[in-house]
């Protein structure tokens, strides 16, 4: 009898340990997923900010955005920006007018990324953590606002692209939650329907 009770107690102890593990794991898994998601999104957001900055300078030079990463990367490599001094207009007796005096040029690469010696322009098109490597989705065009054509662009990447390798069910759940709110299930910057260069992470 005592032997049977001992066996039962051992079995119950094993079951209790197993159930405790399941409870702890059920709590731990969402935390691990959220931490990995946040860590990855820091790098995704930085890439999207870099693309937005470059698109802004591209537009200043060409009065439009580009939907082509080859053009954007080439612009970073060889594009130049004027260095302008603002000086008083010598012909203005009211001392209220100024003249823009171009004193030289600086490379786009040196202007935007001079403080990031490890920046690799060739990687700008690729979504960090994607496996195999995938490019950001990029679009550009025009929309009508106030009777005028306004240039717009949009760059984005889906959860399933940069969260690959994490819990697939949780990825689907995250995407469904965003879609139910009529929001893009991933990270994006710009818009093809509004003259905005905001990133959707800024409104989360």
| Inside any domain, residue 116 | yes
| Inside any domain, residue 86 | yes
| Inside any domain, residue 2 | no
| Inside any domain, residue 13 | no
What residue ranges of the chain have pLDDT lower than 50?
A: none
Please count the structural domains in the chain: 1
pLDDT of residue 12: 63
pLDDT of residue 117: 84
Calculate the alpha carbon distances from 175 to 30, 94, 161, 187 in Å.
15, 60, 12, 11
Per-residue tokens: 141: 């065009």
pLDDT of residue 31: 84
pLDDT of residue 41: 96
pLDDT of residue 167: 92
Q: Within 10 Å of residue 127's Cβ, how many Cβ atoms? A: 25
pLDDT of residue 82: 74
Q: Which domain holds residue 155?
A: 37-203
pLDDT of residue 111: 85
| Inside any domain, residue 6 | no
Could you tell me the pTM of the whole model? 0.79
Per-residue tokens: 178: 């965003």
| Inside any domain, residue 154 | yes
Q: Within 10 Å of residue 86's Cβ, how many Cβ atoms? A: 8
CA geometry: angle 100, 104, 107, nearest 5 deg: 120
| Inside any domain, residue 19 | no
Decide: 57 and 43 in contact? Cβ < 8 Å: no
| Inside any domain, residue 25 | no
Q: What percent of the chain has pLDDT over 90?
A: 61
Per-residue tokens: 88: 């008083």
């Amino acid at each position: 009898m005592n032997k049977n009770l001992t066996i039962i107690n051992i079995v119950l102890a094993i079951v209790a340990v197993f159930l405790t593990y399941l409870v702890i794991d059920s709590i731990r898994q969402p935390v691990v997923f959220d931490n990995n998601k946040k860590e990855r999104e820091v790098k995704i957001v930085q890439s999207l900010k870099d693309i937005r900055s470059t698109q802004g300078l591209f537009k200043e030079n060409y009065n439009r955005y580009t939907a082509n990463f080859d053009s954007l990367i080439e612009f970073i490599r060889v594009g130049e920006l004027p260095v302008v001094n603002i000086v008083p207009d010598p012909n203005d007796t009211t001392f209220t007018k100024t003249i823009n005096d171009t004193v030289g040029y600086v490379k786009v690469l040196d202007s935007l990324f001079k403080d990031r010696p490890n920046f690799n322009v060739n990687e700008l098109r690729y979504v960090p953590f994607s496996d195999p490597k995938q490019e950001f989705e990029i679009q550009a065009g025009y929309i009508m606002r106030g009777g005028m054509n306004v240039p717009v662009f949009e760059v984005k990447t889906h959860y399933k692209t940069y969260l690959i390798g994490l819990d697939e069910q949780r990825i689907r759940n995250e995407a469904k939650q965003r879609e139910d709110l009529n929001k893009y299930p991933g990270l994006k910057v710009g818009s093809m329907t509004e003259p905005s260069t905001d990133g959707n992470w800024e409104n989360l």
